[in-house]
Amino acid sequence: MKLTFLGTGTSQGVPVIGCRCVVCCSKDPRNKRLRTAAMVEVQGVRIVIDAGPDFRYQMLRTGVRHIDAILLTHEHKDHIGGLDDVRAFNFVDYPEKIHRIPIYGADHTLSTVRRDFAYAFVEGRPRYRGVPEMELVEVDTNLPFEVKGIEILPVVGGHARFRVTGYRLGGLAYLTDFKSIASEEIEKLRGVEVLVVNALRKRPHDSHFSLAEALDLIREVRPQRAYITHQSHDMGLYADLERELPEGVFSAYDGLEIEINDTI
C-alpha cells in the first residue's frame, strides 16, 4: 500500500495570503502546504481522501489519469471545494466512456455536497453537458464498507460542533480535523502500522488537535509510525518541528510518499 500526502496544510494553506512570517517566507518546499488531502493506492485501487480547493493542482502534480473513489472526511470547503474537477476524470477518455466517480461520506457531508453542487444532480431535464459525474454513496459510520474489494473502516471524531470521519484501511489510519475522539473509536485504531493525525499548531485550538493532543493520541494508539498533517504556519518551520518530535513521529509534507504493509 502506498500513501501520498497531496496536501498537509490548513484551510488557508501555507503560505497564508499576505503573511510575512518566517514559515510563510521559507524557501524550504516542505513549508509550502496545500489544503489537506491524501491518496491511497492498494491492490490496484486508487482512492483519494478529500478534494478541497487545491484538488486540481494536486492531481496534476501526481500525474494520475484515473481514480476509483473519493472519501470525504467532512463538509468544510477546504475538503470538498474541488469536487467540480472530478469531471476531468469523468471525461479523460471521452467520448468512448464516461467514468462516474463514487464519492463516499457521512449523511451530513453528502447533503452539503448535494446543495453546493446542485447543478450536478439536476433530475427531470437534460443536464448541462460537462457537469461533474458523481455517484454519492452514504457511509454508515458505525460499519465497514468496501471500495472495489478494499475494506474501509470509518473512525468518527468531533470537530468542534461538527462530526468528522477518519478512515482505516488495513495498516493505515487517516484522521484529519479531529478535536476529540471517543474511547470506542480509538479501539478501531489498535494495531495500525501508520497513523496519520492532524495537529493545527502547538497552542490549543477550539476545533482541532494541538500538537500535544495529537501526540497524546499517538501514544495511546502506539502505531509503528505516525505522521502529523493539517498544519498551519503557527506550527513553525518543518526542520525545527522534525527535531522536536518523538521517535517514530514525523511531520508530513506535500508530496511525501510512504509504503505501508498491505494487510488488507
> The cell 471521452 sits on which residue?
94
According to the model, what pLDDT value does residue 144 have? Answer: 98
- pLDDT value at residue 161: 85
Residue 105 buriedness (CB in 10 A; 0-12 / 13-18 / 19+):
buried
Task: Give pLDDT, residue 91.
Answer: 84
Please count the other Cβ atoms lying within 10 Å of the Cβ belonging to residue 99: 16
pLDDT, position 98: 82
What CA–CA distance (Å, rounded) separates 260 from 262?
6
Nine-digit cell string for 20 = 510575512
DSSP 3-state of 180:
strand
Distance of CA 236 to the CA centre of its chain: 21
Tell me how far apart the alpha carbons of residues 131 and 84 are, in angstroms, rounded to a whole number.
Answer: 7
Residue 152: exposure state from Cβ atoms within 10 A (0-12, 13-18, ≥19): buried
Cross-strand pairs, 4: 39, 257
Q: Which three cell numbers stand for residue 44?
A: 490496484
Q: How far is 107 from 89, CA to CA, in rounded Å? A: 24
In DSSP notation, 243-257 reads HHSPTTEEE--TT-E
pLDDT at 95: 67
Taken in order 227, 177, 207, 145, the sign of the CA dihedral is: negative
Sequence-separated (6 or more) residues with CB below 8 Å from residue 49: 37, 38, 39, 40, 70, 71, 72, 73, 167, 174
d(C-alpha 190, C-alpha 183), whole Å: 11
d(CA 78, CA 106): 17
Query: For residue 264, what pLDDT is reported?
Result: 63
Cα separation, 222 vs 217, in Å, equals 8
Residues of the chain short of pLDDT 50, as ranges, are none
The Cα 9–Cα 211 span in angstroms is 14
Predicted confidence at residue 263, as pLDDT, reads: 66
> What pLDDT is stored for residue 20 in this prediction?
98
pTM: 0.96
